[in-house]
Structure 1
Amino acid sequence: MSEDMSNGLDDIMAVLTGRIEARFGMSLDVLRKAVAARPAASPAATEVVIWHGRLVESQAELDRAEDALLAALDTQPSQVDDPALSLAYQVDAAVQIRDGRAMVLRFLLDPDAPQKQGLAAERLARLTRGSGTGPAVPAAAPPHSAAAVPSVPVAGRSVRR
């Protein structure tokens, strides 16, 4: 990873860490220990610590994927072969995952997020209060006759996450 990219990442992690520490009034290490000792004491703190950990994990996975891609590209002639292209797809998927986790963490830290106020917040609160009472959709699919379900081949590739 280039120095500019790692500095940008350090800045993002520093900003998010600073926001976490400002929100909870303690260092991230102290907050982690407090959450580990009593996770039910503050569900918001527990969720932030969990998502921060996920962000750190996804960044480490991205770093590994980028390193593998760079190593493969170093051995390539001018054309990129299928294995290197596959590694590029893994890097792209890792970036998407990392960015999504950063977005969730920013949302959790933003008390003024639109979804946390008004009618949307009330609906979300009602939904989460009812959690643990069973699935929101039926656990079993409705019965279908074999003739009613067409056979459609599924094409595509899967992305390891």
Structure 2
Amino acid sequence: MFDGISDDAEDVVGVLTERIEARFGMDMGQLKAAVGAAPTANPDATDVVKWHGLLVEAQSVLDRAEDDLVAALQTQPSEVDDPTMGLAHRVNAAVAVRDGRAMVVRWLLDPDAPGKKDLAAERLARLRSRTGPTVQTTVPHRPAGTAAPASAWRSARVAR
């Protein structure tokens, strides 16, 4: 009953693994080693390796959940009991997690994905390379006798 699900899911992991390897020009073992040796050298590779690992982990959880469900279903009479139904819910949750992680990997691999070309993505890319705060964290000191900008005075008057 569930044999096709695992095969299809492994194909999804396999296809995404192949896409990652093609994108970075090395197999996953080499890519993991490169990211481990220099995690900040290529943030895209680091993100892909992280999420691929989470995807593989989610696939393992799903495989175990499916195996448990199949074993329980084989012992059931015509009606499914509550514990077996709980196993079915566990499989559904594992599928959702695996599919969500696969979507993230696909998004990371797609240079034209929504959100990657907009201003926020460009700002994020610039901020990744910075190490310190990006905005001033204290109020600037204004020497005594210096008036506040007129725009600040007008907005304070309007607020009254």
TM-score range (shorter-chain normalised) is: 0.7 to 0.9
CA distance in 2, matches of 1:95, 1:132: 40
Structure 2 unmatched runs, 5+: 134-160
In the superposition, relative to structure 1, how do residues 6 and 66 fare at CA in structure 2: closer, same or farther (>3 Å)?
closer
The Cα of 1:44 is off from its aligned counterpart by: 1.1
* Count of aligned pairs between the two proteins: 132
Give the 4+ runs in structure 1 shifted more than 4 A: 123-133
The Cα of 1:126 is off from its aligned counterpart by: 7.2
TM-score, with structure 1 as normaliser: 0.73
23-32 or 95-104, which deviates more: 23-32
Specify the alignment match of 1:44 in structure 2.
Answer: 44
CA distance in 2, matches of 1:102, 1:93: 14
In the superposition, relative to structure 1, how do residues 42 and 55 fare at CA in structure 2: closer, same or farther (>3 Å)?
same
In the superposition, relative to structure 1, how do residues 5 and 131 fare at CA in structure 2: closer, same or farther (>3 Å)?
farther
CA distance in 2, matches of 1:121, 1:16: 23
Specify the alignment match of 1:147 in structure 2.
Answer: none
In the superposition, relative to structure 1, how do residues 92 and 127 fare at CA in structure 2: closer, same or farther (>3 Å)?
farther
The Cα of 1:110 is off from its aligned counterpart by: 0.5
The Cα of 1:57 is off from its aligned counterpart by: 0.4
Specify the alignment match of 1:27 in structure 2.
Answer: 27
CA distance in 2, matches of 1:129, 1:117: 18
Q: Which secondary structure does the structure 1 equivalent of 2:77 belong to? A: coil
Q: Which secondary structure does the structure 1 equivalent of 2:112 belong to? A: coil
8 Å CA contact retained: 2:6, 2:63: no
In the superposition, relative to structure 1, how do residues 129 and 35 fare at CA in structure 2: closer, same or farther (>3 Å)?
closer
Q: Which secondary structure does the structure 2 equivalent of 1:116 belong to? A: coil
Structure 1 unmatched runs, 5+: 134-161
59-68 or 37-46, which deviates more: 37-46
CA RMSD of aligned residues (A): 2.2
TM-score, with structure 2 as normaliser: 0.73
In the superposition, relative to structure 1, how do residues 132 and 10 fare at CA in structure 2: closer, same or farther (>3 Å)?
farther
Specify the alignment match of 2:81 in structure 1.
Answer: 81
Specify the alignment match of 1:17 in structure 2.
Answer: 17
Any idea what the Cα deviations from partners look like across 1:39-63, whole Å, max 9, x if unmatched?
A: 1111111110010010000000000
Sequence identity percentage: 61
Q: In the alignment, does 2:119 pair up with 1:119? A: yes
Tell which structure's C-alpha radius of gyration is larger: 2
The Cα of 1:119 is off from its aligned counterpart by: 3.0
